[in-house]
Amino acid sequence: MSHKNILTTFVLAIILTGGVTYNAVFAKFFEQGLVSTSANNTHIGAEIAISELDNSQYQPAVAYNWKHQEYLVVWENVWGGGGHDIYAQRVSDTGELKSWFYVPDDTTFTKHDRKQPAVAYDPVNDRYLVVWIYDTVGDGSNLDIHGRFVPWEGVDAGEKEFSINGWSSNQWEPKIAYGRTPEEFLVVWMNTPSGVSTYISAQRITAATGAKPDSAISVTSGAENRDNPDVAFNLAQNQYLITWDINNSGSGFDVYGRRLHGGSNNFAGGEIGIAGWPGNEENPRVAACSAMDKYLVAWQSAASGHDDVYVRFVNNDGSMEAPLLVGDTPANEQYPEVACTESGSIFMVVWNQQYSSTSGPYGVSGRFAYSDLTVSDDFAVRGVSVGGPNRWYPLIAGGYSNFLVTWEHLRSGTAYQDIHGVLATPYTVFLPLVIKN
């Protein structure tokens, strides 16, 4: 399609609908060079108070719903008495707060602690799967993985909470990806059995029914502890990439990954070493951009005496490009997160940015990563200053025209911790002037 025809389609959509309904053609703007992705052109929206309950709120996770042009943010809520549960807030891709709701199903399971939520969206059934760890006994001795399907507009009493994994050992840190080709979810987590090194497992969940078509998958195990799992699905290859870090005794932490075929328990090759320098490489996160047919893995590294953030492109065959340093100041850059736009055309990586090397609060910084294997200049998603509020542990999801970046936000002058976010739009669309009579 020519530049002229793309622009004509875009402008006609605006005229006919009376609004900017450009999501459906945004990918073409990337391909035809009509979109600028310079960091200097990045628009960071006003800060959004996603949840400000008078308690502590932790570990936000977010997914994008392209059918309704909105995000779903979930988080762990801690009440004054110490109970933990899961809440959700719908946020439009223009930043409007919509309905919020309690996610678990206390009619099926006792109201024990629920923590560490993760979420992914299924466009075929127009619903989310939210997963978390559940304190089965109530004393922390047996943590399992539970989940619940949530229709796009909020919980449905007919959708019951269900067990994804109920082994007698503790399960931690669930992460989830939706596989479009096999129409399934893949949930990954870390197991912590008594007296045995921690290891990583996965479970496929049929999106339409919630059934488990096969038993749990052993992703990686051994004499060393494995931790911090993550997962992404590459639509171009019907393939997942699962990542984790491993504690190699005496040489620090390293980052590994393994590819899994969608719709099966079969791996596409063995484990691949993504970062293995002297020092610690840990907290890996992964996303896939289907239009690029690539993954991007981000992690923090302590090789330089303080923590920096690196990224690395991983190809569909498991080969890799050279690592790129994206967060490098005398202060600490930690806890990276990465996402791709819904069109599959551009990555964004964010991380915690410390104000100084010795003290000060944390903010959130970011960069974009492109199909030509380059990255933008770094920029402040939310800057930091002396005496400013801490913004911790950012989470991110990509829509068509922007990303939603969320974080834990320490409310100034209180002991409360909230969930805040911003919309980051990484491009400028160049359109001809259109005059309507």
Could you tell me the pLDDT band of residue 358, with boundaries at 50, 70 and 90? Answer: low
Q: Is the pLDDT of residue 117 over 70?
A: yes
Q: Is the pLDDT of residue 436 over 80?
A: no
What's the pLDDT tens digit per position in 75-100? 999 987 889 999 999 999 999 999 99
Beta bridge partners of 375: 369
pLDDT for 70 equals 98
pLDDT for 251 equals 74
pLDDT for 427 equals 60
pTM of the model: 0.89
Q: Is the pLDDT of residue 11 over 90?
A: no
Q: Is the pLDDT of residue 41 over 80?
A: no
**Percent above pLDDT 70 for the chain:** 86
pLDDT averaged over the chain? 88
Q: Distance between CA 311 and CA 318 in Å, rounded? A: 15
CA atoms in the 13 A half-sphere facing the CB of 224:
16
Could you tell me the pLDDT band of residue 21, with boundaries at 50, 70 and 90? Answer: very low
Q: Distance between CA 65 and CA 208 in Å, rounded? A: 17
Could you tell me the pLDDT band of residue 359, with boundaries at 50, 70 and 90? Answer: low
pLDDT for 79 equals 86
What's the pLDDT tens digit per position in 118-138? 999 999 999 999 999 999 999
pLDDT for 20 equals 39
Q: Distance between CA 234 and CA 178 in Å, rounded? A: 10
| Long-range contacts of residues 219-225, Cβ cutoff 8 Å, at least 24 apart | 219/188, 219/244, 219/258, 219/260, 220/244, 220/246, 220/256, 220/258, 220/271, 221/197, 222/197, 222/246, 223/197, 224/197, 224/248, 224/249, 225/197, 225/198
Q: How many residues comprise the chain?
A: 437
What's the pLDDT tens digit per position in 212-230? 999 999 999 999 999 999 9
pLDDT for 368 equals 96
Per domain, the residue ranges of the chain are 1-52+291-311+322-437
Q: Is the pLDDT of residue 305 over 90?
A: no
pLDDT for 40 equals 52
**Percent above pLDDT 90 for the chain:** 76
Contact 407, 392 (CB under 8 A): yes
Q: Is the pLDDT of residue 19 over 80?
A: no
Q: Distance between CA 395 and CA 399 in Å, rounded? A: 14
pLDDT for 413 equals 85
